[in-house]
Chain A
Amino acid sequence: MSTSVNDATSIVPDLSAPLFGIERPARLLPAEPVTKIRPTKFWETIDLGELWAHREVLYFLIWRDLKVRYKQTMIGAAWVVVQPILMTLVFAVFLGRFIRVPSDGIPYPVFAYAAMLLWTFTSSAILSSSYSLVTNSQIITRIYFSRLALPTAAVGVRLVDFMIASVFLLVFMIYYRVQLGWTIVILPLFVAEIAVLALSLGVLTAALYVRYRDVGTLLPILLQVWMFVSPTVYSASIVPARLRLLYSLNPLVGIMGGFRSALFNLSFDWTSIIISALVTLVLLAFSLQVFHTLDSSFADEV
């Protein structure tokens, strides 16, 4: 290279010259930058396209958690059924038999199991999402990919668990000879809705947990409360009519009620279902925005 050694300003190397004796192929660069790195602006909205671009990472993160779990435990898949069954058993004895809590005319155990299935998914998805960023701190401080993939992967893992545990629901329904109706076809809609709800809250708590470690202690308590405020172990019919609207602001009211109605061919409470859909969407937009706002500081604060 023929530049002066004393030249203190930026030296442009003569890259047309052969390097190490080998001719360089010309590399064509795009006119526009592939990536623009800039400071964050608070009004930036989240780019979900980034998550789609990193969908393989999402897949592998889910694959990793499932593989590790099955390597570490002996019973493997059976574990995911244990929690909802145990809880249903306890509630079936105390609330179903001793207190005889109303269950919309459906045998209490299968009534409770259906909602317990949804609840186990929701609470474990939110909990594991909330610490997904902190647990993977090594990765997010070393390599870049859409950080949304982490809480999403946590929810994805629990969704797989849900699918496995729902097989047992089928067993329950056969045992209690529950009649199915056409309504079963809209069941996936409610599953999708609860997945979106769990994802929203998971994303929100994940973002907050990085900065405020209180979230870790507060979350289990809030989830406990939420379980009883939702029609998990009782039917929504026990709530007095004048409080019903307020009660329905809890999105799980519409989702669990709708799930049961679809499953057991009962009447639908459309008001609560519509309210839950709206609340879920608002929560989704809100959570994604909060996540995006805090995203730029994750690597610095985790």
Chain B
Amino acid sequence: MKPIIRAANVGKKYYIGAREAARPTWRDALRNSIRNNAPLLLGRYGPHHPFIWALKNVSFEVFPGEVVGIIGTNGAGKSTLLRILARVTRPTTGGADLYGRGGSLLGVSTGFHPDLTGRENIYLNGAILGMKRNEISRKFDEIVAFAEIEDFLDTQTKRYSSGMYLRLGFAIAAHLEPDILLLDEVLTTADVSFQKKCLDRIKSVSRDGTAVVFVSHNLKSVTHLCQRAFHFHRGEIHDEGKPGTVIENYLRKFSV
């Protein structure tokens, strides 16, 4: 079976340290030596700027219809990997090939404007996520039903509770119909009933052939949903296999 995502030697380097040092004002650049700052002005960081490798040599494949879970401690590189797959940022080394349309939910209510109503934000958010106008219109009622906000469609979203924001954000993303769905810890603030709704939705899209990459701290949902799990540690794939095993090892090694 051909993979729908193929990642090879993906690495990501981040420059760290004082923001002032990394982003000089022109006064600083003039004051310091030309040798130090010329690379910065030309768009490159000098060799002496401190950095970390958020991801190192990550290679894997994901197949259509698979739900893959990614777990790991904070700072392990999970979100960085998803951002690269979502094309938000570029890798420093290596690369990934995507054999299908990607849809990502790296944060909920991306692009929502608080002064716009729920109805208006559905169109705005849907368009930003990559849906065409007629597609949004077609799926409008389903989205509203999924989010359970029928009564609040014409209220400005600044009046919405955080739960409503989350439900609406997920509802729109859930109706994207991408070939690849990237989810980054989106269920953390959802209540139990909505979580179940989301997990059911993920199951149903994976049945239709969508590959899902699911980053979560909710180990139970990973066990329940995923056929395969990766454990990331310090930017590398530490472990891979069936979710039950991977999680067991993870808890044994890293939990308190």
Contacts and interface: CB of A to CB of B under 8 A. Distances in A.
Nearest to A19: B207
A141 B23 CA distance: 18
Nearest to B98: A35
A300 to B, nearest CB: 6
Given A34-B100, A139-B111, A39 B93 contact: yes
Interface stretch (B101-109, B139-147, B188-196): B101-109
A56 B94 CA distance: 31
Interface in A14-40: 15-16, 19-20, 22, 24-25, 27, 29-30, 33-40
Interface in B1-36: 1-2, 4, 6, 14, 23, 25-26
Contacts of B111: 138-139, 143
B26 A139 contact: no
B44 to A, nearest CB: 9
Contact of B128 (A22, A143, A294, A299): A143
Contacts of B66: 13, 15
Nearest to B206: A19
Given A11-B241, A15-B63, A64-B113, 15 more contacts: A1-B242, A12-B1, A25-B208, A29-B2, A29-B100, A30-B99, A37-B84, A37-B85, A37-B91, A38-B95, A60-B127, A138-B110, A142-B88, A211-B23, A213-B25
Nearest to B87: A144
A67 interface: yes
Contacts of B91: 37-39
Nearest to A37: B96
Interface of B: 1-2, 4, 6, 14, 23, 25-26, 43, 60-61, 63-66, 83-102, 104, 106-107, 110-111, 113, 115-116, 120, 123-124, 127-130, 132-133, 179, 203, 206-209, 227-228, 240-242, 245
Contact of B95 (A39, A141, A145): A39
Contact of B110 (A139, A213, A293): A139
Nearest to B237: A10
Which 3 A-B pairs give the minimum distances between C-beta atoms?
A33-B97, A27-B209, A144-B87
Interface of A: 1, 3, 5, 7-8, 10-13, 15-16, 19-20, 22, 24-25, 27, 29-30, 33-40, 56-57, 59-60, 63-64, 67-68, 71-72, 138-145, 211-214, 293-294, 296, 299-301
21 contacts: A3-B242, A7-B241, A8-B240, A8-B241, A13-B63, A20-B203, A24-B209, A29-B100, A30-B99, A33-B97, A34-B99, A37-B85, A37-B91, A37-B96, A38-B95, A39-B94, A40-B90, A60-B123, A68-B113, A143-B86, A299-B83
Contacts of B228: 11, 13
A29 B64 CA distance: 9
A56 B207 CA distance: 29
A211 B86 CA distance: 22
B202 to A, nearest CB: 12
Interface centre among A144, A211, A213, A301 (most CB of B within 10 A): A144
B246 to A, nearest CB: 11
A37 B97 contact: yes
Contact of A35 (B26, B88, B89, B102): B102
A244 B86 CA distance: 52
A144 B88 contact: yes
